[in-house]
Amino acid sequence: MITMANLLSMFILMEVVAGGFRFGVDGLRMDYYIMSCPFAESIVENTVNRALQDDPTLAAALVRMHFHDCFVEGCDGSILVDSTEDNTAEKDSPGNLSLRGYEVIDDAKEQLEDQCPGIVSCADIVAMAARDAIFWSGGPVYDIPKGRKDGRRSKIEDTRNLPFPTFNTSELISAFGKRGFSAQEMVALSGAHTLGVARCSSFKNRLSNADANLDSNFAKTLSKTCSAGDNAEQPFDATQNIFDNFYFNALIRKSGVLFSDQVLYTTPRTRNIVNGYAMNQAMFFFDFQQAMVKMGKVDVKEGSNGEVRQNCRKIN
């Protein structure tokens, strides 16, 4: 006689099987490569770890690359495409010229093509590399679904959708809202600035205009940085290669580097979120990983809507 527990188990199993068929082979899944390229994740992780051991600053670069990819045309690897004579690609727009880490993606892709030709997309490599860079830097560990296809479009004009360092909170909320993110998710994702640096050209406008929301001593620090030119770099917080909540504490001290950083604290709508993350790193980590998984699903290409590039720098 079949017990109620057995019936329930059978029902759950049927749901799982049906779910697998419903999403199909092209749907995003945690185990997308388990049969077709079982070592895909470890190859990417090992490649990222080797690169970061040589240059820890690449962690911020890989996270930023993923964000700049997903915010333009969705998470489809379009940021990796090189410009050609008849097309100026995303990576050559002013907002992307300081992006780094392309060679890490190339390295992982080359190894994956040796192991499993034509299987692992460049878009998935970018998403996995960002996740692995965050964990390597001391941030939260989380998994992401895979199965993104690479896009066939990369045009400089599409980068107008990227948020600018001069954005106020309303503009940030609007820009992220168009991608389906709440104000809280926007603040959590902004916490990625706990890694890395900003160039003087991104914040020097704060120095020429007296900014009441900028600590006077920190303003002197920024001025000293900019004395070396537009490309001089200023860390976002005191631990530029460690993923922590120091970024939010800096905002409370009026020591946010970018205008778009500091407004998160000066605006009542987002101030309490900043306070919460500054006081509770675990809460920041949890919200950040949730928002990153969500970001990795923005306008992904699946099935025939995309391809798996042989070379991440050019469309097949």
Q: Would you say 124 is a known binding-site residue? A: no
- Contact in structure between 248 and 189 (CB atoms under 8 Å): no
Active site residue 66: no
Q: Would you say 158 is a known binding-site residue? A: no
Q: Would you say 237 is a known binding-site residue? A: yes
Handedness of CA 33, 38, 42, 48 (dihedral sign): negative
CA 133 to each of CA 122, 137, 157, 161: distance values in angstroms, whole numbers, following the listed order: 16, 6, 29, 25
CA 271 to each of CA 134, 224, 268: distance values in angstroms, whole numbers, following the listed order: 25, 28, 5
The secondary structure of the chain in percent helix, strand, coil, rounded to multiples of 5, reads 55, 5, 40
Q: Would you say 257 is a known binding-site residue? A: no
Catalytic-role residue among 64, 66, 68, 254: 68
Q: Would you say 84 is a known binding-site residue? A: no
Q: Would you say 239 is a known binding-site residue? A: yes
Nearest alpha-carbon partner for 36 in 48, 45, 47, 26: 26
Q: How far is the C-alpha of 183 from the C-alpha of 84, rounded, in Å?
A: 38
Q: How far is the C-alpha of 135 from the C-alpha of 296, rounded, in Å?
A: 16
Q: How far is the C-alpha of 292 from the C-alpha of 57, rounded, in Å?
A: 20
Q: Would you say 114 is a known binding-site residue? A: no
Q: Would you say 86 is a known binding-site residue? A: no
- Contact in structure between 306 and 148 (CB atoms under 8 Å): yes
Q: Would you say 74 is a known binding-site residue? A: yes
Q: Would you say 194 is a known binding-site residue? A: yes
- Contact in structure between 266 and 114 (CB atoms under 8 Å): no
Binding-site positions for Ca(2+) read 69, 72, 74, 76, 78, 90, 194, 237, 239, 244
Binding-site positions for heme b read 193
Binding-site positions read 69, 72, 74, 76, 78, 90, 163, 193-194, 237, 239, 244
Q: Which residues are catalytic?
A: 68
Binding-site positions for substrate read 163
